[in-house]
Amino acid sequence: MRRPPRTAIGALAAAVLIGLLPSAAADTGAGGPRLKGCPVFGADSWWNTDIRALPEHPRSAQWLAHMSTERDLHPDFGPSFGEGPDYGIPITVVRRRHPRVRVHFGYAAESDRVRYPLGADTRIEGGRNADGDRHAIVVDRDRCRLYETWSTRARNGRWSAGSGAVWSLRSHQLRPDGWTSADAAGLPILPGLLRWSEVRSGRVRHAIRFTTDRTAREHLWPARHDAGSADGAAYPPMGARFRLRADFSTDGFSQHARTVIEAMKTYGLVLADNGSPWYFQGERNAHWPKRLIADLKRVPASAFVAVDSSSLMVAPDSDQARPPGS
């Protein structure tokens, strides 16, 4: 899932990254997805931008040829039927007074080495004794700050992780180019997770994170990092964005499934990590309907096309997106 760090950026870049300097603290504006009163990077974030009008990427057919499009999508969240915690990446919400702890990082040169609000209440993907990616996502709702770690462990009161990243949810500031995060693409995980509250409301207003098994050794804006094993432009890079075909019929799908399908048509999927082909992620939540999970397993990968989102870029170190066609 990861590779050794390529760069070591100085303390100044790290300070901007985690929102300690004014350039990273500009408010993203109203609108867009929210979580516990905080914006999730704002309506003008690349994650939250309508991509229906974007052109097909010139390499779409090549990428899809290496992405097992003969299969259907797989929702990587939902009930586990007694085999352990429900599937999905849990989100822990804390207040500003939550204790902060030091974390030892395997990839320290590309991690934000600040104190993280981790503790007995922190939920870890798969559970504390699980194998796998063991992501932890923590939102400080008072500061609107996001903390994410990968390969997260707590032993005898000491915390460790493969890597860790911190964002202001009000900022468009990206990580230094070349830095990983808790995701191979160097992007935040939270904005790409489906959440039950938004599906239940009938409106998902952001792109959705997904994985595939073989990726290129390159990344596209706004991704900052790659961990691929394939050379050449014929393989999909981290940050590639895919849109569900507009004429894909929702007949026979539940209303909740239609909400997710419309999001896939409007905001698409974002390639953010290596893993099983066409697995897309949601939060761990006991309320996910079984019918919804079953319906989403019927969406064919062959109904997607890669789009070229480069025209949305306002600045290379920002995830702010201009309106398509502007």
Q: What's the domain range around 187? A: 41-312
Q: Which residue has the tokens 């706004």?
A: 222
Cis upstream peptide for 188 (omega within 30°)? no
- Measured from the Cβ of residue 131, the count of other Cβ atoms closer than 10 Å reads 7
Residue 301 lies in a domain: yes
> What residues in the chain have per-residue pLDDT under 70?
1-30
DSSP-derived letter for residue 207 is: -
Residue 284 lies in a domain: yes
H or E segment and range at residue 13: helix 11-17
pLDDT tens digits, 256-274: 999 999 999 999 999 999 9
Residue 24 lies in a domain: no
For residue 153 the two structure tokens come to 């462990």
pLDDT tens digits, 230-254: 998 999 999 999 999 999 999 999 9
Contact 148, 200 (CB under 8 A): no
Structurally, how many domains does the chain consist of? 1
Residue type at 102? Answer: R
For residue 236 the two structure tokens come to 């999909």
The pLDDT value given to residue 30: 58
The pLDDT value given to residue 12: 36
Residue 33 lies in a domain: no
Could you tell me the pTM of the whole model? 0.91
Q: Please tell me the distance from the alpha carbon of residue 299 to that of residue 77, in angstroms, as a whole number.
A: 15
Residue 2 lies in a domain: no
For residue 93 the two structure tokens come to 């919400």
Residue 28 lies in a domain: no
The pLDDT value given to residue 82: 74
The pLDDT value given to residue 6: 40
Kindly give the pairing relationship between strand 163-168 and strand 153-155: unpaired
Residue 89 lies in a domain: yes
Contact 180, 2 (CB under 8 A): yes
Residue 171 lies in a domain: yes
